[in-house]
Protein backbone atom coordinates (compact mmCIF):
# COMPACT_ATOMS: atom_id res chain seq x y z
CA UNK A 1 0.00 0.00 0.00
CA UNK A 2 1.25 3.47 -0.87
CA UNK A 3 1.37 6.38 1.51
CA UNK A 4 -0.34 9.61 0.52
CA UNK A 5 1.70 12.64 -0.36
CA UNK A 6 1.49 15.32 2.34
CA UNK A 7 -0.15 18.60 1.41
CA UNK A 8 2.02 21.69 1.57
CA UNK A 9 1.37 23.79 4.66
CA UNK A 10 0.66 27.45 3.94
CA UNK A 11 3.88 29.29 3.10
CA UNK A 12 5.91 26.09 2.74
CA UNK A 13 7.88 25.06 -0.35
CA UNK A 14 8.97 21.69 -1.64
CA UNK A 15 11.74 20.26 -3.76
CA UNK A 16 12.36 16.68 -4.84
CA UNK A 17 15.89 15.30 -4.61
CA UNK A 18 17.41 12.07 -5.84
CA UNK A 19 20.66 11.14 -4.11
CA UNK A 20 20.76 7.36 -4.40
CA UNK A 21 18.72 5.22 -2.05
CA UNK A 22 15.76 7.15 -0.71
CA UNK A 23 16.21 5.62 2.74
CA UNK A 24 19.53 7.46 3.00
CA UNK A 25 18.20 10.71 1.57
CA UNK A 26 15.19 10.68 3.89
CA UNK A 27 17.34 9.98 6.98
CA UNK A 28 19.57 12.97 6.21
CA UNK A 29 16.92 15.57 5.40
CA UNK A 30 14.60 14.66 8.27
CA UNK A 31 17.23 16.18 10.55
CA UNK A 32 17.74 19.51 8.80
CA UNK A 33 16.30 22.49 10.71
CA UNK A 34 13.40 24.05 8.83
CA UNK A 35 12.45 20.82 7.04
CA UNK A 36 8.82 20.06 7.83
CA UNK A 37 8.49 16.64 6.20
CA UNK A 38 10.32 14.18 3.99
CA UNK A 39 8.48 11.62 1.89
CA UNK A 40 10.26 8.84 0.03
CA UNK A 41 8.98 8.25 -3.46
CA UNK A 42 9.53 8.11 -7.19
CA UNK A 43 9.81 10.77 -9.90
CA UNK A 44 11.11 11.26 -13.40
CA UNK A 45 9.71 8.23 -15.18
CA UNK A 46 6.89 7.21 -17.47
CA UNK A 47 5.06 4.48 -15.54
CA UNK A 48 1.93 5.65 -13.70
CA UNK A 49 1.73 4.64 -10.03
CA UNK A 50 4.97 2.64 -10.05
CA UNK A 51 5.74 0.12 -7.34
CA UNK A 52 9.09 -0.44 -5.69
CA UNK A 53 9.41 -3.74 -7.52
CA UNK A 54 8.90 -1.96 -10.85
CA UNK A 55 11.40 0.77 -9.96
CA UNK A 56 14.02 -1.84 -9.10
CA UNK A 57 13.95 -3.18 -12.66
CA UNK A 58 15.27 0.15 -13.95
CA UNK A 59 12.63 0.02 -16.68
CA UNK A 60 10.23 2.74 -15.44
CA UNK A 61 12.61 5.68 -15.79
CA UNK A 62 11.91 6.84 -12.24
CA UNK A 63 14.49 7.80 -9.67
CA UNK A 64 14.22 6.99 -6.00
CA UNK A 65 13.68 10.44 -4.51
CA UNK A 66 12.72 12.32 -1.38
CA UNK A 67 10.12 15.09 -1.46
CA UNK A 68 11.34 17.67 1.01
CA UNK A 69 8.83 20.17 2.37
CA UNK A 70 10.47 23.10 4.10
CA UNK A 71 9.68 26.41 5.75
CA UNK A 72 11.50 29.07 3.70
CA UNK A 73 11.48 31.36 6.74
CA UNK A 74 13.70 28.83 8.56
CA UNK A 75 15.79 27.40 5.73
CA UNK A 76 16.13 28.02 2.04
CA UNK A 77 16.63 25.83 -0.96
CA UNK A 78 20.27 26.92 -1.22
CA UNK A 79 20.93 25.59 2.30
CA UNK A 80 19.11 22.33 1.55
CA UNK A 81 21.22 21.90 -1.57
CA UNK A 82 24.42 22.49 0.41
CA UNK A 83 23.50 19.37 2.38
CA UNK A 84 22.46 17.53 -0.80
CA UNK A 85 25.92 17.90 -2.37
CA UNK A 86 27.62 16.61 0.80
CA UNK A 87 25.18 13.72 1.31
CA UNK A 88 26.08 11.79 -1.86
CA UNK A 89 28.53 11.60 -4.73
CA UNK A 90 27.04 13.68 -7.56
CA UNK A 91 29.88 12.68 -9.92
CA UNK A 92 28.84 9.04 -10.32
CA UNK A 93 26.29 8.37 -13.03
CA UNK A 94 23.39 6.15 -11.94
CA UNK A 95 25.19 4.86 -8.88
CA UNK A 96 25.64 5.53 -5.18
CA UNK A 97 27.92 3.08 -3.40
CA UNK A 98 26.76 -0.46 -4.15
CA UNK A 99 23.38 0.76 -5.44
CA UNK A 100 23.50 0.86 -9.23
CA UNK A 101 20.92 1.75 -11.89
CA UNK A 102 19.08 4.76 -13.26
CA UNK A 103 16.79 4.71 -10.21
CA UNK A 104 19.79 5.80 -8.09
CA UNK A 105 20.72 8.82 -10.21
CA UNK A 106 21.55 12.19 -8.73
CA UNK A 107 18.71 14.61 -9.49
CA UNK A 108 17.10 17.87 -8.46
CA UNK A 109 13.48 18.25 -9.54
CA UNK A 110 12.52 21.91 -9.23
CA UNK A 111 9.07 23.52 -8.96
CA UNK A 112 9.73 27.03 -10.29
CA UNK A 113 12.12 29.11 -12.39
CA UNK A 114 13.55 30.51 -9.16
CA UNK A 115 14.26 27.02 -7.83
CA UNK A 116 15.91 26.12 -11.13
CA UNK A 117 18.22 29.14 -10.89
CA UNK A 118 19.12 28.28 -7.29
CA UNK A 119 19.80 24.65 -8.26
CA UNK A 120 21.99 25.59 -11.22
CA UNK A 121 24.01 28.10 -9.17
CA UNK A 122 24.35 25.56 -6.39
CA UNK A 123 25.64 22.94 -8.84
CA UNK A 124 28.20 25.40 -10.24
CA UNK A 125 29.37 26.29 -6.73
CA UNK A 126 29.49 22.64 -5.63
CA UNK A 127 31.53 21.61 -8.67
CA UNK A 128 34.58 23.31 -7.14
CA UNK A 129 34.63 20.69 -4.37
CA UNK A 130 34.71 17.63 -6.65
CA UNK A 131 37.63 16.31 -8.72
CA UNK A 132 35.27 14.97 -11.43
CA UNK A 133 32.36 16.66 -13.23
CA UNK A 134 28.97 16.66 -11.53
CA UNK A 135 26.40 14.58 -13.43
CA UNK A 136 23.35 15.66 -11.41
CA UNK A 137 20.21 16.06 -13.48
CA UNK A 138 18.30 19.32 -12.92
CA UNK A 139 14.78 18.93 -14.32
CA UNK A 140 11.28 20.29 -13.77
CA UNK A 141 9.30 18.32 -11.23
CA UNK A 142 6.89 15.83 -12.73
CA UNK A 143 4.33 13.71 -10.94
CA UNK A 144 5.57 12.56 -7.55
CA UNK A 145 4.55 9.08 -6.45
CA UNK A 146 4.93 8.40 -2.74
CA UNK A 147 6.65 5.10 -2.04
CA UNK A 148 4.95 2.29 -0.20
CA UNK A 149 4.36 2.81 3.53
CA UNK A 150 7.15 0.45 4.59
CA UNK A 151 9.68 2.80 2.93
CA UNK A 152 8.61 5.83 4.96
CA UNK A 153 10.70 6.71 8.05
CA UNK A 154 12.75 3.66 7.15
CA UNK A 155 15.91 4.49 9.06
CA UNK A 156 14.09 5.62 12.19
CA UNK A 157 12.06 2.41 12.25
CA UNK A 158 14.81 -0.03 11.19
CA UNK A 159 18.19 1.38 12.20
CA UNK A 160 18.90 -1.44 14.62
CA UNK A 161 17.25 -4.22 12.61
CA UNK A 162 18.51 -3.74 9.07
CA UNK A 163 22.24 -4.16 8.34
CA UNK A 164 21.97 -1.66 5.44
CA UNK A 165 21.05 1.02 7.96
CA UNK A 166 24.09 0.26 10.14
CA UNK A 167 26.55 -0.16 7.27
CA UNK A 168 25.39 2.61 4.89
CA UNK A 169 23.05 5.13 6.51
CA UNK A 170 24.61 5.48 9.99
CA UNK A 171 28.10 6.23 8.58
CA UNK A 172 26.57 8.78 6.18
CA UNK A 173 24.85 10.57 9.07
CA UNK A 174 28.07 10.48 11.09
CA UNK A 175 30.04 11.95 8.16
CA UNK A 176 27.54 14.82 7.96
CA UNK A 177 27.66 15.42 11.72
CA UNK A 178 24.02 14.39 12.16
CA UNK A 179 22.70 12.19 14.97
CA UNK A 180 22.53 8.52 13.99
pLDDT by 10s per residue, the chain, length 180: 555 556 788 999 999 999 999 999 999 999 999 999 999 999 999 999 999 999 999 999 999 999 999 999 999 999 999 999 999 999 999 999 889 999 999 999 999 999 999 999 999 999 999 999 999 999 999 999 999 999 999 999 999 989 999 999 999 999 999 999
* pTM for the model: 0.94
The reply to whether 180 falls in a domain is no
Pairing relationship of beta strands 106-110 and 137-140 according to DSSP bridges: parallel
The C-alpha angle with vertex 90 and arms to 175 and 53, in degrees rounded to 5, equals 95
The reply to whether 28 falls in a domain is yes
Number of domains observed in the structure of the chain: 1
The reply to whether 126 falls in a domain is yes
The reply to whether 2 falls in a domain is no
The reply to whether 78 falls in a domain is yes
Report the C-alpha gap between 165 and 163 in whole angstroms.
5
Q: Domain range for residue 44?
A: 13-175
The reply to whether 7 falls in a domain is no
Report the C-alpha gap between 66 and 176 in whole angstroms.
18
Q: What is the CATH number of the domain that holds 61?
A: 3.30.1060.10
Q: Is 21 a catalytic residue?
A: yes
| 38 sits in which H/E element | strand 35-43
Amino acid sequence: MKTTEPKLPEGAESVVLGAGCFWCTEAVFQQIPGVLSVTSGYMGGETKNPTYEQICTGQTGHAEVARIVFDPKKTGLAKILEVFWKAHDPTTLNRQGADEGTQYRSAIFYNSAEQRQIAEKSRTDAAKAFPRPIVTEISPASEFYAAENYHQDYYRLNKNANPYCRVVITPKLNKLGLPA
